[in-house]
Amino acid sequence: MKCCGQERTTRFCPECGKQVSDSSGLYGLLAHCRKSAQHAQKESESWDAHDPERPAAKRSKVNAAKWKTWVDVLEKTIKGDGAPDQ
């Protein structure tokens, strides 16, 4: 399915976050976020090992933290511990 001008093969568009294919609701979103968080963490670790002072290395740390936060909030929401703090 197309989203943001490109064909997407994942459940959610990486550009805008919109669901582009059928999934199992929050569980599908959580799976997507976990996979993205793992990828972002590996990228961040790679930058740290090679050139931690580059701007891209710093951005990768922020990106990894962002995905980790989304995973944590979704897990909390699914468990029913209440709505995430805003």
Which residues of the chain are under the pLDDT cut of 50?
86
The token duo for 62 is: 């922020």
- Rounded to an integer, what distance in angstroms lies between the CA atom of residue 77 and that of residue 58? 29
Q: pLDDT value at position 40? A: 95
Report the C-alpha dihedral over residues 8, 23, 75, 39, rounded to 10 degrees. Answer: -30
Query: Of 33, 34, 31, 15, whose CA–CA distance to 23 is shortest?
Result: 31
Q: pLDDT value at position 82? A: 52
- pLDDT digit string (tens) for 33-53? 999 999 999 999 999 999 999
Q: pLDDT value at position 86? A: 45
Taking phi first (over 0 means left), then psi (-120 to 50 degrees means alpha), and beta for anything else, what does residue 82 get?
A: left
Ordered by start, the domain boundaries in the chain are 24-86
